[in-house]
Amino acid sequence: MKRVQVTKSANGYLVGLSRAQRIFLSMIFEYLLGHSASDIDLEIQTGSDRDHIESLLGRLKSGAVEGGRTADEFTRGDLHSIHAALLAVREHLPSEVQFHTTITGFYREHAADLADSLVRSADRAE
């Protein structure tokens, strides 16, 4: 769950995500889309508007169906939104039990670890 593979591409970053990571991120985006008080609330938390978050969610879900580790191209803004969502959901679900039952099968520490790995891997890719 912890490791994310990031390489620089011509238009952004190629991010290799496992099926479990895609499912985890999809569940987080779905949660935030459904539990943000308003569109501005969602945008402040993630740095992206609802349409963009829904687009990211669709890309993550389509890759999860394929299975295995697959790479998608993301902009720096996309990476920011993914990172911000990982941190925001930890604030929405402050207890480990609440997080685990809402984001089924995953733990709060997974969000922190994945967010950290994303930043470190993107930095190394530069």
Q: The tokens 């990476």 sit on which residue?
A: 79
What was the pLDDT predicted at 12? 96
Instruction: Encode the chain (126 residues) as per-residue pLDDT tens digits.
Output: 678 999 999 999 999 999 899 999 999 999 999 999 899 999 999 999 999 999 999 999 987 555 567 889 999 999 999 999 999 999 999 999 999 999 999 999 999 999 999 999 999 998
* Angle, alpha carbons 64-113-1 (nearest 5°): 35
What was the pLDDT predicted at 63? 73
What was the pLDDT predicted at 59? 93
To 10 degrees, what angle do helices 19-35 and 76-92 make? 70
What was the pLDDT predicted at 1? 62
| Pure H helices in 7-107 | 19-35, 39-46, 50-66, 76-92, 96-102
